[in-house]
Structure 1
Amino acid sequence: MPSVVYKFGGTSLGSAECIQKVCDIIYADEPSFVVLSAIAGVTDMLESFYASSAQERLSLLRDLQKKHEAIVRDLNVPFPVSSWISRLFPYVNQQHLSVADRANILALGEDIAVSLVKAVCRSRSLNIQSLEARDVILTDDNYSRATPDLSLMRRSWKDRQLSANTSYIIQGFIGASQAGETTILGRGGSDYTAALIAEICNASEVRIYTDVSGVYTMDPKVVENAQRIPELSFEEMQNLARFGAKVLYPPMLSPCMRAGIPIFVTSTFHSTQEGTWIYAIEREESLEPKITALSLRQNQSLCSIDFSSLDQGMDELVYKLHSLGIFPELITTQNHTCSFILDNEGSSSEKLQSLQHALSTFRVVRLHHDMALITIVGSGLSCPKVMSTMMEGLHLQVAPLFCSQSSKVLSFAVMSSCAESIIAQLHNDFVKQDI
């Protein structure tokens, strides 16, 4: 019988009631593998712990302990919260924590979640065993955004004696270098873990459990009348995830695409099992423009640089930007001017200042912060009338400051302050309709 991989995110583990619901699903379905994120809010608390002073860290330790103790009390299972939290004690008074320390600190959230859910499942006589992520997700030594080594993982997997009649529970988000040191896959990396496990065990399906019943035409928190999409191609989901849709972590799609494994996104909390299937679909190229879904990415910067003085033109410009740690997206050029988007999500004001300093070595034509990137995914979007029709419908007097257009993806930048109202109107006017 083919393996099935289930993944439960942090919102699915946010309370005792949520955890009981997760255990109900595991008990009913007996999936081959269960991948877990940290309990909702815990990774953020651990990030704060890493970045704080000693006094603040002690306060955060108490908060972490209280948060987990409250859930354990409501679950009514024996669980050593204090013992787990004590693993952070060695870091409290350290002034300079390394990136390796950060990986160890952040991994604690997933370690606790797996141990706790396993304890609840065991209390219900479910045959479930732990599978240590550090023994399975083998990576390079980039502690903050590790790259999995698939050949090593496959060799390691072949040596495992796993029972077909047992469910295995594993931490998402974390792995280990060849030296055995903890690494992390990046925020949202639990999705990636599930996809990697599915690829190496040749699973028939990856099921992502979250707090919404699938992928929607736009984030329902921004657009109330967003509609659930029954199915998407890998390419469509890749474009949505890349440009702001939070429902899936973009790198998770690659393993599933390589192995041809379908993904089903559904809700932990709605028993109807409605959701969105994501798999390889060959769609006919539409001549008429159609919008499948929209996404929004806030906290962007728009930069335009004159590269006419550079001997090797654009190639030299991109090389210099990369050497400064600047990774432009959606590059467009016109008359020796290069325009691009920079994603500043999670960036501090200090990081933005260093970005501005780095860019000062170039002939910057313009630099706008507080921008948002609106992306439309569909077909026939390179048609010239698409942008003009939308502008007319939005009553925009001037064109957006930046636009990148292809047949399947159209992205444009607007001021953050008006982005949500623009995307809501676009959704109401054009989604599922011919433009």
Structure 2
Amino acid sequence: MTGERMGRIVMKFGGTSVATSSRILSVAEIIRSRLHQRPLVVVSAVGVSFKGESKITDQLESLAELAHAGKPFDSNLEAIRTKHEKIIEELELSWDSVASTWELLTKAIANTNRPYREFLDEIFSFGERFSSRILSAVLNNKGIPARYIDVDELGSITDQNFQDATVPVENEEQVLAGFRDEERILVIPGFVGRTPDGRITTLGRGGSDYTAALVGAAFEVDEIQIWTDVSGMRSADPRLVPDAERLEVISFDEAKELASFGARVLHPKTIEPAMRKNIPVVILNTFDPQAEGTTIRNERIKHGKVIKAIASKTGVIRLDIDSTSMLGASGYLARLFNVFAKYETEIDVVATSEVSVSLTVNNSRNLDKVIEELKTFSNVSLAHGKTIICVVGEGMRHTPGVSGRVFSTMGTAGVNVELISQGSSEINITFMVDDKDAERAIKALYYACIS
């Protein structure tokens, strides 16, 4: 699809936005207020409604673990039903509005004769499928014609990387291809896709943002709105820096860096489809719909501050790999990274010298196998309890003295810095500290470089 924009928007509502019946009713009114923009609505699974409650996605994962292992799971299944029944009753809907999806869940649980990751993804998908069905029924009850889209109609054809699937660029045009002329409000489950042979996949935790971007790119909409529980992105984590300022406008490049390194408002994969179609992404607050948010645009946006924001990711594992065979040899790094690819272990940050490589990974899945194979041709050591800190800003391009300011601030704060890296974009500097020093480091950077 090419040419002029269609004058439409995508509205994606996160789990906190649909966690209770009252919040779902508020979402319906927000949608009503934008009917003139013919919104395409993407929904996450219902979120946590009280402290200590498990997320639906976590409950579904527990259910899948028990079922696949042949252990009793009736109480887990009942807890999931009870959560949704309560919302449905409070909304004065009938269980019939989700009955067909519930039947699909019970059938999926019985089909355990398949690899666990494949099985888990189908079970995962029901969180978003239930919430989307409920919101669609609410909209119809309120006189807003709506059409629920199930995963087999969505057209998000992914690769086979279960739990973190991606829709190849060449498949993006297939998303909702059969619904381009649908007049009703399309209510779409986020987070889900299908392999070419029809097996259900999921797009990674927070992948509903990615679904919103895919839908927006397919329809070439005017704007993709991500409705969450905060008014836009902040220049630092407000839990660590309560007075961190709202970012009014940032570039796609800045957003990619922030999302990749811990800014929880946006899923990292969201950026690419929107950027390719030059569609702005706006972060808005469901609980304060009139509040201004953050707009992400495909342009370099500089302002008076060289460093615009700080992101961080805690609980990271660092691997230090060294071998004298690296010196003057070709192909060593390829061999090293092939090991991580073989065991589907994602690398975040890399720093190299002539004879050593330091890198970080997010989780320990398959890490023992990675290390075992690496040790056949290298020395390997491990360090847990690390935090990646990333400072970001378009103003950092070609600005002398930025690194000096960052690291002198760390020295003044008494924070030891490890594993320094800067990407080719020149808009970020990434480094590592101990988890115990992370809060002190972020606060020091914020007040020295931003506020």
With the length of structure 2 as denominator, give the TM-score of the two structures.
0.86
SS at match of 2:324: coil
Contact 2:30 2:289 in 1 (8 A): no
Letter in 2 for 1:405: Q
Task: Please tell me whether the aligned partners of residues 237 and 278 of structure 1 are also in contact (alpha carbons under 8 angstroms).
Answer: yes
Task: Identify if the C-alpha distance between structure 1 residues 49 and 337 changes in structure 2 by more than 3 Å, giving closer, same or farther.
Answer: same
Q: Residues 71-86 of structure 1: matches in 2 within 5 Å?
A: 71-80=87-96, 84-86=101-103
Contact 1:216 1:293 in 2 (8 A): yes
State the distance in 2 between where 1:177 and 1:55 align. Answer: 28
Structure-2 residue corresponding to 1:45: 59
1:60 to 58, 76, 83: 76
When residues 106 and 157 of structure 1 are mapped into structure 2, their CA distance, relative to the original with a 3 A threshold, is: closer
- Call closer, same or farther: CA 1:194–1:156 in 2, change over 3 Å: closer
* C-alpha distance after superposition, 1:141-192 (max 9, x if no partner): 44433332454453575554523x4321111111222323322222211111
**What's the secondary structure of 1:290's corresponding residue?**
coil
**2:230 pairs with one of 195, 207, 212:** 212
Query: Aligned match of 1:250 in 268, 287, 290?
Result: 268
Q: Does 1:231 align with 2:245?
A: no
Judge which range, 173-182 or 11-20, deviates more: 173-182
Counterpart CA distance in 2 for 1:274 and 1:289 is 21
Q: Who is 2:39 aligned against?
A: 32
Instruction: Say whether the 8 Å CA contact 1:403–1:410 is kept in structure 2.
Output: yes
CA contact (8 A) 1:307 1:338 kept: no
| Residues 1:2 and 2:19 are matched in the alignment | no
Distance 1:49 1:222 in 2: 34
Q: CA RMSD in A?
A: 2.6
Matches of 2:39 and 2:248 in 1, distance apart? Answer: 25
CA gap 1:243/1:385 in 2 versus in 1, 3 angstroms: same
Distance 2:387 2:378 in 1: 24
Cα separation, partners in 2 of 1:171 and 1:195, compared to 1, 3 Å: same
Q: 1:352 to 1:318 in 2, by over 3 A?
A: closer
Alpha-carbon distance in 2 for matches of 1:239, 1:173 = 21
For 1:302 and 1:293, locate their aligned partners in 2 and report how far apart those are by CA, in whole Å.
24
Q: Matched residues, percent identical? A: 29
Aligned to 1:404: 421
1:60 offset after TM fit, Å?
1.0
- Cα drift, residue 126 of structure 1: 0.9
Structure-1 residue corresponding to 2:287: 269
Q: Is the 8 A contact 2:11 2:40 kept in 1?
A: yes
Q: Which residue is equivalent to 1:291?
A: 307
Name the residue aligned to 1:172: 190
2:3 matched residue in structure 1: none
Q: Distance in 2 between matches of 1:64 and 1:185?
A: 22
Q: Partner residue of 2:356?
A: 337
Structure 1 CA distance for aligned equivalents of residues 39 and 239 of structure 2: 33
Other-structure match for 2:404: 385
In structure 1, C-alpha distance between the alignment counterparts of 2:221 and 2:125, rounded to whole Å: 25
Gap regions ≥5 residues in structure 2: 1-5, 48-54
Q: How many residues were matched structurally?
A: 423
Tell me how far 1:374 sits from its aligned partner.
1.0
